[in-house]
Structure 1
Amino acid sequence: MTSSSQRPAPQLSSALILLDPRDDVALAREQLVPGAPLDAEHRVAGLIPPGHKIAVRDVAAGAPVRRYGQIIGFASRPIRCGEHVHTHNLSMGEFERDYAFGVDVHETPRAARRATFAGIRRADGRIATRNYVGILTTVNCSATVARAIADQFRRDIHPEALAAFPNVDGVVALTHGQGCAMASEGEPIDVLRRTLAGYARHPNFYAVLIVGLGCETNQIDALVETEHLERSTQLTTMTIQQTGGTARTVAAGIERVRELLAQANRVTREPVDASHLTVGLQCGGSDSYSGISANPALGSAVDRLVAHGGTAILSETPEIYGAEHLLTRRAASREVGEKLVARLRWWEDYCARMNANMNNNPSAGNKAGGLTTILEKSLGAVAKGGTTPLVETYEYAEPVRAHGLVFMDTPGYDPVSATGQVAGGANLICFTTGRGSAYGCAPAPSLKFGTNSALWQRQQEDIDLNCGTILDGEQSVEEVGAAIFELMLATASGQQTKSETHGYGQNEFVPWQLGAVM
């Protein structure tokens, strides 16, 4: 019997995309109708939507089905050549992955001359890409007050409030639903405090005001002490109870922000090299094209970024499940790879405790876009990490100090995942989407890249760059990757993203909530 690695590549219609000669499925570039030619001998057996999979050979029931040359699931019934392959005949199954720690590690060539962007240098030497004043909350009970303070400086409501401060990008209140009805010690409150502290220290904030209620579990003093924060003119705190109620706290907060604006406005931008860029990698509203256009193009940009000394954070742990062996093979050390595998095992246990399973992801929109299993989605998602070695693995919201490609353990839910990346130090987010995403992430600007030209034509107001030109045969992955890298530098220099023009960013702050709500 011929093995999958020895199979000759079928000669398919130009309406199909075959990624690897070992693959059992190809991707439809356009809608295929019954009877359309598949190859010289076979015809399409039914209606195949754009981006969906079609079998290019017979597959027996229970046999693995491959895309990208990798297993994406198992045939739940016999599949004939020319049939639509999706949730009705493809399912999850267990199989061994060869982690082969470090066997594919290669040195990333360093750029002879580093690229630069116009960054903001803080007094301690850190580099910012934006210049905000931030208001953080310890608990949901102080969210209304924090929003009321920030609303006084919204350009769409009070355009005069920041008119004299053109170098200030805005005043944002980042609120959340946690902080009380939880244990005063343990992982849930540790993660919340680590996230808040990461934002309090973020270089894109000139200054931060932390507002609490006063009686919550997540006490301000405990937050400051456990996270080694230092109160100063740029990190101040207040509580509603101690200040004397809602109106007085709002008034005091507005006055405090007004005092900060003149100082924050004194910043200037200067040329700094790209090693100061830390980019969080996200994909949301993915489709079957994500893994062959936008994600590998972003991966190409990541390789360029690392070559220039920068850092990229790959995350969304449930969305590398089934493809983690492609990352462990690139781990710079066995320890880094083992840490990654340990996070996957944590997720398996977490799902078991919650009566869930890893294949609850993909979402309904992902499936409508042609993705069938989490294995398939993950194989496309890891392409965002390019080909450079994986140099470190971090837990959620941990400070990222390594340079190069790193992994941070986060959920696959985009707002929660990006919140952890920004808490870890990401000063730019790059977000690929195939179904269409409307997302922003203050204080870090967020770029969105569409996977297909139909999305670009439909939703240009939210998408910063069309990667569908790869599918259209107009550009290569490397050409689009180069364009993404240049857009990274321009955005880090102050060029606004689509999401910034729409005012996204405040509502997308969502720290990971773990543990029981009491």
Structure 2
Amino acid sequence: MTTAVRNPFLKIHTDDNVLVALQDLAAGTIISAGGQNMTLQHDVPAKHKFFINDMQTGDEVIMYGSLVGKVQYALPKGTLMTTANTHHAAGEYGYRNVKASWQQPDVSKFVNRTFNGYKRGDGRVGTANYWLFIPTVFCENRNLDVIKEALWNELGYAVTDKYRRFTKEMLNAYTAGEDVDDISLNPVAANDQTRFFKNVDGIKFLNHSGGCGGTRQDASTLSALLAAYADHPNVGGVTLLSLGCQHLQVADFLTDLKKRNPAFDKPLYIFEQQQTVSEEELICEAIRKTFLGMAELNKLERTPASLSNLCIGVKCGGSDGFSGISANPAVGHTADLLVALGGKILLAEFPELCGAEQALVDRCVSEEVANKFIHLMQAYNGEAMKVGSGFHMNPSPGNIKDGLITDAIKSTGAARKGGTSPVVEVLDYTERVNMPGLSLVCTPGNDVEATTGKAASGATLILFTTGLGTPTGNPVAPTIKIATNSLLARRMGDIIDIDTGSIITGEKNIEEVGEEILEYCIQVASGEAIPKAVQLAQDDFIPWKRGVSL
């Protein structure tokens, strides 16, 4: 890190026996902390941790006030934490009938605020108005690609025209015998001025690799997932393509859709290829019906709605050693603000709650809610253990390189995205959120599988924090990318929306940045700001097959 900070290190919790370097610290540097001095035994890169006590073999490592690891051999204070000297450890957890209190944040700035959203027939409010294409089976992906190219290009939704023009200019130069290295990208892209249907924010396509060939459980889970996306508040109409002979039958999808929302009233056009005369007819009729449906959907306009109608999923990916002390707690404050305003927050990624379980169990509003969380966590980790893995193997090489040495360190920092409010509901994969407040959603930690699951449970916006840079979005839930540090925000500004590096430098506090994030959410929910992930069409969609995925 080259940015100067007011304090070169941070002790996150009073019980911690490690400090976090906020800037690069050289070996031999004398550190004064907690009334004692220590000499750094090694160079400590920014984002990494070092011990403030002499440690013996088996000693517990405490961070965020929680057990996050155990020391493997004796270490003098001032030693850099590494994967060699510290291994993952997490505390046992269970229901303790704790009646946790919650200190709500001051929401006076937001009490009477609204956003301009799309009101649906069942009373929910979308932050966007999308037309959605769904294939029941991978065999229809190619047809979806053909339809996508036709509709995106002619109706003004294409965002890749700049690359087509770039390629064409290179081709012209090469044909003329000119140097193609002199050709540069013209970044002009499609925008609202070229969109034919002004009130239809996009046409989205859920290409996937399932629907047949796997287990019947896979097809059943996929059916529930696709029904959840059709029912999503940000979706105004649906075109469904089926082959006909696959495991996931149209009737199964319709059953799941009716089960999820008996009052479903959106236009839904279904085409089955094995019942049509030709592929050409299938594609033309799908385009024709969709065009006419979009014309009707275009009549719907944004109207003011209370912030209590917002449902925000919180996610971290490409995490670093600053995630748990800048972006995640700032998003956590945003979460607390929205919960206090009557909105909904979805915290998922169960492999990345390992080590934070007891704190979350103690925040559950009832024994029933707590036991559902415990059951899902233990069953999930148990499946991973059966194949020789486990939640403890979650951190990626990039996580470890940037200071997340154990899964418990990563998880206790990741859990801060959910804020401090009570846990009102625990949702299994694809279950729909119903209650205002903080809900836990069972998904993998995998970035796209997790965001896919959050949207399925009803997230109308996603706050995605990253310390390393992750080009991920979602087809139906506008995804706001938040950098943990300013260096990343500058280097990858094309994918980052918000920079929380001011927390690291001490220029702003967590509460200030949390309020700024909520302000941006209101702009995005109103269509006044377009997140980079939406601009770049980062419409990532990966169904979880309920197998082992960390």
Q: Same fold (TM over 0.5)?
A: yes
- 1:175 Cα offset (Å): 1.1
- 1:412 Cα offset (Å): 0.5
1:33 to 26, 30, 38: 26
Question: Structure 1 residues 490, 22: closer, same or farther in 2, change over 3 A?
Answer: same
Aligned mates of 2:413, 2:65 — CA distance in 1: 12
Aligned mates of 1:163, 1:276 — CA distance in 2: 27
Question: Structure 1 residues 420, 41: closer, same or farther in 2, change over 3 A?
Answer: closer
Aligned mates of 1:365, 1:444 — CA distance in 2: 26
Residue type at the aligned position of 2:537: G
Aligned mates of 2:302, 2:492 — CA distance in 1: 32
Aligned mates of 1:76, 1:208 — CA distance in 2: 56
Residue type at the aligned position of 1:299: G
- 1:300 Cα offset (Å): 0.5
Aligned residue number for residue 207 of structure 2? 175
Mean Cα deviation higher: 304-313 or 155-164: 155-164
Aligned residue number for residue 144 of structure 2? 146
Counterparts of 1:364-513 in structure 2 under 5 Å? 364-494=397-527, 495-505=529-539, 508-513=540-545
- 1:110 Cα offset (Å): 8.7
Structure-2-length-normalised TM-score: 0.87
- 1:328 Cα offset (Å): 1.0
Partner SS for 2:99: coil
2:126 to 128, 131, 137: 128
Aligned mates of 2:194, 2:210 — CA distance in 1: 31
Aligned mates of 1:272, 1:30 — CA distance in 2: 43
Aligned mates of 2:281, 2:472 — CA distance in 1: 33
Structure-1-length-normalised TM-score: 0.92
Which consecutive residues of structure 2, in runs of 5 or more, have no partner in the other structure?
1-5, 162-189
Question: Structure 1 residues 383, 261: closer, same or farther in 2, change over 3 A?
Answer: same
Aligned mates of 2:230, 2:194 — CA distance in 1: 22
Contact between 1:73 and 1:91, CA under 8 Å: does it hold in 2?
A: yes
Aligned mates of 1:289, 1:347 — CA distance in 2: 27
Residue type at the aligned position of 1:69: G
- 1:357 Cα offset (Å): 1.6
2:394 to 361, 364, 371: 361
Aligned mates of 1:194, 1:243 — CA distance in 2: 26
Deviations 1:283-310 (A, max 9, x none): 1011111111111111111111011110
2:255 to 219, 225, 228: 225
- 1:164 Cα offset (Å): 2.5
Aligned mates of 1:47, 1:244 — CA distance in 2: 70
Aligned residue number for residue 73 of structure 1? 69
Deviations 1:391-410 (A, max 9, x none): 01010010111110011111
Aligned residue number for residue 93 of structure 2? 97
Aligned mates of 1:515, 1:246 — CA distance in 2: 34
Question: Structure 1 residues 381, 232: closer, same or farther in 2, change over 3 A?
Answer: closer
* Count of residues in correspondence between the two structures: 500
Aligned residue number for residue 244 of structure 2? 214
Contact between 2:240 and 2:270, CA under 8 Å: does it hold in 1?
A: yes
- 1:102 Cα offset (Å): 3.5
- 1:91 Cα offset (Å): 0.4
Aligned mates of 1:474, 1:92 — CA distance in 2: 33
Aligned mates of 2:442, 2:546 — CA distance in 1: 13
Aligned mates of 1:101, 1:281 — CA distance in 2: 27
Residue type at the aligned position of 1:498: K
1:52 to 36, 48, 55: 48
Partner SS for 2:147: helix
Aligned residue number for residue 6 of structure 1? none
Contact between 1:134 and 1:205, CA under 8 Å: does it hold in 2?
A: yes
Aligned mates of 1:513, 1:285 — CA distance in 2: 23
Contact between 2:92 and 2:358, CA under 8 Å: does it hold in 1?
A: no
Counterparts of 1:267-306 in structure 2 under 5 Å? 267-306=300-339
Partner SS for 2:39: coil
Residue type at the aligned position of 2:19: A
Which consecutive residues of structure 1, in runs of 5 or more, have no partner in the other structure?
1-12
Partner SS for 1:359: helix
Contact between 1:100 and 1:325, CA under 8 Å: does it hold in 2?
A: no
Aligned residue number for residue 183 of structure 2? none
Contact between 1:153 and 1:170, CA under 8 Å: does it hold in 2?
A: no
Deviations 1:305-351 (A, max 9, x none): 01111000000000001111111111111111111111111112111
Residues 1:259 and 2:289 aligned together: no
Give the root-mean-square deviation of aligned CA atoms: 2.2
Contact between 2:205 and 2:475, CA under 8 Å: does it hold in 1?
A: no
Partner SS for 1:329: helix
- 1:124 Cα offset (Å): 3.5
- 1:233 Cα offset (Å): 7.0
Q: Determine what percentage of the aligned residue pairs are the same residue.
A: 34
